[in-house]
């Protein structure tokens, strides 16, 4: 949203899109901007990614590593190439990224696309790599409609300083996990992992403590025992089994 703090948004986008080399199901792969916010965030994200790219790839703990396999790298590079061919603007291209001393690593550098449309492969498919796709809309309602039009509904986030906008978004968006100024809205273990639509298979959303509760049938036993010769008063106990 236009009232979101640009620095916070950029840090969240860079970390969640490129963290773990983009190889996590909850990585942010698509960012939707209301147009007044677009230009400055695009520029800031571009600068941040370009500065970070040479330092982030490698083997140290503070960097992210390669793709899991040559096949994974090849798939990501194919999607990047398709994005360019379908008309998206590639502002930062990590296709030819290399790490000194590790020429055979499955490296893919941070990649940033703008002017992306929902018809493009980089929007429709989960890239599972350090690639961020940016789209623009005019209103919050358009953003909600864009999210709801997707066949998937795993997680989504809104960045805003407006409580009204956050409330409208969380109530109307058709996604199982919603973050408000939180880039990766994975819940703590005692909440359910609640994907919607094509982002969930089966009919059980049980996870963590809720899973235990779901499969637990509670029996409440209230008992009171008397001893004929007891001096003290009767004892009362309640047990849950």
Write out the DSSP string of 85-105: HTT-EEEE--TT---TT-TTS
The token pair at 123 is 């929007």
Residue tagged 């590593």 (tokens): 65
- 98 burial level (CB within 10 Å; 0-12, 13-18, 19+): exposed
Which ranges in the chain belong to alpha helices (H)? 6-18, 35-56, 70-85, 121-124, 140-148, 163-172, 209-214
- The better pLDDT of the pair 100, 126 is held by 126
Catalytic residue among 18, 25, 90, 136: 25
Closest CA to 159 of 148, 171, 170: 170
DSSP state of 231: S
For the domain made up of 6-197, give the CATH fold. Answer: Aldehyde Dehydrogenase; Chain A, domain 2 (3.40.309)
The ranges assigned to domains in the chain are 6-197
Distance between CA atoms of residues 215 and 228, nearest Å: 41
Known catalytic residue: 25?
yes
Distance between CA atoms of residues 16 and 202, nearest Å: 27
- Give me the percent of the chain exceeding a pLDDT of 90: 35
- Whether residue 53 contacts residue 110, with contact meaning beta carbons closer than 8 Å, is answered with yes
Q: Which helix (H) or strand (E) holds 221?
A: strand 220-225
Over the Cα atoms of the chain, what is R_g?
A: 24
pLDDT tens digits for range 135-179? 989 999 999 999 999 998 888 899 988 999 998 999 899 988 888
- The better pLDDT of the pair 148, 46 is held by 148
pTM of structure: 0.75
DSSP state of 234: P
**Mean pLDDT for the chain overall:** 80
Is residue 212 pLDDT above 70, yes or no? yes
Residue 193: φ, ψ to 5°: -85, 105
């Amino acid at each position: 949203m236009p009232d979101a703090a640009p620095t916070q948004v950029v840090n969240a986008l860079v970390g969640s899109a490129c963290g773990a080399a983009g190889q996590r199901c909850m990585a942010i792969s698509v960012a939707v901007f209301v147009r007044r916010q677009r230009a400055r965030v695009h520029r800031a994200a571009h600068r941040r990614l370009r500065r970070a790219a040479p330092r982030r790839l490698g083997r140290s703990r503070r960097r992210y590593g390669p793709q899991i396999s040559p096949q994974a790298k090849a798939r990501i590079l194919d999607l990047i190439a398709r994005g360019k061919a379908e008309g998206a603007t590639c502002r930062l291209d990590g296709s030819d990224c290399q790490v000194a001393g590790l020429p055979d690593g499955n490296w893919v550098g941070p990649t940033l696309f703008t002017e992306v449309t929902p018809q493009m492969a980089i929007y429709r498919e989960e890239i599972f790599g350090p690639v961020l796709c940016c789209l623009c809309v005019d209103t919050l309602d358009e953003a909600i409609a864009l999210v709801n039009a997707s066949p998937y509904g795993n997680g989504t986030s809104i960045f805003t300083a407006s409580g009204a906008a956050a409330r409208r978004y969380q109530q109307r968006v058709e996604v199982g996990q919603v973050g408000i100024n939180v880039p990766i809205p994975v819940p703590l273990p005692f909440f359910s992992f609640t994907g919607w639509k094509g982002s969930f298979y089966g009919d059980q959303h049980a996870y963590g403590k809720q899973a235990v509760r779901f499969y637990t049938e509670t029996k409440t036993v209230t008992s009171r025992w008397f001893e004929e010769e007891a001096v003290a008063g009767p004892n009362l106990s309640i047990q849950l089994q």
